[in-house]
Structures are given as structure tokens and as C-alpha cells.
């Protein structure tokens, strides 16, 4: 079994997380040794000025275990329950996907839309929208 560390956005440091950057997660992985890696969650890491370098380092060590996607809305009404559908916010998801792939990750794109707005929609609409956005953003068309 491999353990994945998932750094969370600094906005949740007060009550949800102590690992707030890929740099911190990578450092912990190095200290702890084998059997541990990271999850790159776009919602939580998009802001990181060291994003590309930290993804590359994690990839070189074979530590990227997952890639989660949603989008950061401006304004964000609730940091936990107002994630945007991919393409509705400000994250360069296609660019981040290219960085994750360049780092050697070949696993799935996992959708994580914690959203009161999307939870209120018809599930078929949510699924159709998410699949269409994923096709557009992560497969180049």
C-alpha cells in the first residue's frame, strides 16, 4: 500500500491541514522514504509559485499518485463547497495537466467538485458537463 499526501490550499490551514504546499509534501516524502507519494489537486496547488519545479521533482522520484481537478472561482463563496466546474474559474488546468504529464504521471484525471451549486443540479447534467470539459481540457479537443 502506498500513502499519498495531499497538500491543501493555505486557506484551510486553520482547521483542515498542515501540509500546504507541494514543497512541504515532497520534503516529507523524502524524509519518510518509500511507500509514500503526493496527490496533485489543482484546486489546492494552482497558486504555488514553485508548482512546475515541485511537480517535476515529485515525478522524477515517481511520487505523483493522483491528479484531482476542479476550478477556483472568483469570487469564491465558500472555500470548501464552492469549487468550480473545470473551465469556469481561473486555474490553467490544461497547463497544469501538461506539467503533471511531463513529470511522468500517466494515471487518471480525477474530478473533485465539492459544490453546493453543482450538487443541486441534475446528476446527468453534471456528468455530461464534467465529461465534456475533461475531453476539451485534458485531451486537447
The pTM of the full predicted model, rounded to 2 decimals, is 0.95
pLDDT digits (tens, 9 = 90+) for 6-64: 999 999 999 999 999 999 999 999 999 999 999 999 999 999 999 999 999 999 999 99
Q: How many domains does the chain have?
A: 1
Percent helix, strand, coil in the chain (nearest 5)?
A: 40, 15, 45
CA atoms within a 13 Å half-sphere pointing along the CA-CB vector of 99: 20
pLDDT digits (tens, 9 = 90+) for 65-93: 999 999 999 999 999 999 999 999 999 99
| Residues in the chain, total | 141
Q: Give the domain extent around 19.
A: 3-138
Amino acid at each position: 500500500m502506498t500513502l499519498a499526501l495531499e497538500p491543501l490550499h493555505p486557506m484551510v490551514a486553520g482547521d483542515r491541514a498542515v501540509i500546504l504546499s507541494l514543497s512541504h509534501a515532497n520534503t516529507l516524502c523524502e524524509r519518510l522514504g518509500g511507500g509514500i507519494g503526493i496527490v496533485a489537486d489543482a484546486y489546492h496547488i494552482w497558486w504555488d509559485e514553485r508548482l512546475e519545479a515541485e511537480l517535476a521533482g515529485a515525478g522524477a522520484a515517481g511520487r505523483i499518485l493522483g491528479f484531482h481537478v476542479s476550478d477556483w472561482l472568483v469570487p469564491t463563496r465558500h472555500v470548501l463547497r464552492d469549487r468550480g466546474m473545470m473551465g469556469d474559474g481561473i486555474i490553467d488546468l490544461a497547463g497544469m495537466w501538461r506539467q503533471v504529464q511531463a513529470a511522468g504521471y500517466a494515471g487518471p484525471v480525477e474530478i473533485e467538485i465539492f459544490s453546493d451549486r453543482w450538487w443541486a443540479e441534475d446528476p446527468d447534467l453534471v456528468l455530461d458537463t464534467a465529461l465534456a470539459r475533461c475531453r476539451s481540457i485534458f485531451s486537447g479537443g
